[in-house]
Amino acid sequence: MLKKESVFSGINYVVGAGFLSHTAGILARWNAIGNLPVAGDYESALGGVWVILLFYLFFSFRDKLLRAIGVAVLPFCLILLGYGVMRAAPLAPMTASVRSFWLYIHVLFAWLAFGSYTMCFGLGVVYILRDNNPAKEFYQKFPAPDRMDELMFRYLVFGFITDAVMISSGAIWAKNLWGNYWAWDPVETWSLTAWLIYGLAIHLKITMGWKGRRLAWLLIFALFSMVITYFGINFVVKSSLHLFDAWEGM
């Protein structure tokens, strides 16, 4: 068991080193383009993964048992980064027309919501694994079910609030950029749908008493609505207000 704990600790230090290099990469890109990298799938993946890793490292160093969520969270980060790398990533500043205080608020809270929902996803996966293997010694190193249930709900509420700020600030930014707050654009529609799904999860938890496996499975599948919102729409749909030339010279 000590060997297993040392392996988890070693993985955490590797992730910590990767997080620092990831931070350096974001700062280098920021310096090169002259603005915070928030445009396009590549930069969205950079920012989203940075926040996810920040959440993961913060809580896993505070509570060693929470390192277990890396089983789900870390592979998801690798997939997300891999997708971002395959997308267009011109090293150019954003056009002046899209730069706005509200844009940065919009993107910051989008990252916070995505990171929080990913923690819910990771906790949900770990909950299911532990619940399916209650007798195996390895899974006893995972957090207790009640603790995971509490954390899932906390992250869910935090994500729901930051998601609401993301949608609201995006509407204000859209008003300044396109002349209206809401246009039922595919990305807008999916972002609202995802927010309502997580709102439903809160409702089911509070009023219907959903917890444990049911809540875990709901939060696992709910993350796909966020993935579609942040990355899937731009990959499939060719006509969207969110598909525009955000870089100078493009």
| pLDDT single digits (tens) 203-234 | 999 999 889 899 999 999 999 988 887 776 66
Q: Which of 30-44, 51-65, 195-209 has the lowest mean pLDDT?
A: 30-44
Residue linked to tokens 């027309």:
97
- The pLDDT, as a whole number, for residue 8 is 58
Residue 1, helix vs strand vs coil:
coil
Which pTM does this prediction carry? 0.85
125, pLDDT greater than 90 = yes
- The pLDDT, as a whole number, for residue 1 is 47
Q: What is the DSSP letter of 37?
A: -
Average pLDDT over every residue of 16-36: 88
CA pair distance 213, 219, nearest whole angstrom: 10
Q: What are phi and psi of 237, to 5 degrees?
A: -85, 135
Average pLDDT over every residue of 25-33: 88
90, pLDDT greater than 60 = yes
- The pLDDT, as a whole number, for residue 155 is 94
132, pLDDT greater than 60 = yes
162, pLDDT greater than 60 = yes
Residue 181, helix vs strand vs coil:
coil
Helix axes 70-86, 40-62, angle to 10 degrees: 160
Average pLDDT, the chain: 83
- How does residue 150 score in pLDDT terms, banded at 50, 70 and 90? very high
CA pair distance 7, 248, nearest whole angstrom: 46
Q: Which of 101-105, 117-121, 132-136 has the lowest mean pLDDT?
A: 132-136
CA pair distance 205, 197, nearest whole angstrom: 12
Residue 94, helix vs strand vs coil:
strand
Structural domain spans, the chain? 2-236
Q: Which of 39, 51, 31, 136 has the alpha carbon at shortest distance from 95? A: 39
Share of the chain residues as helix, strand and coil, in percent rounded to the nearest 5: 80, 0, 20
Average pLDDT over every residue of 83-111: 78
Structure tokens at 57: 């490292």
CA pair distance 250, 248, nearest whole angstrom: 6
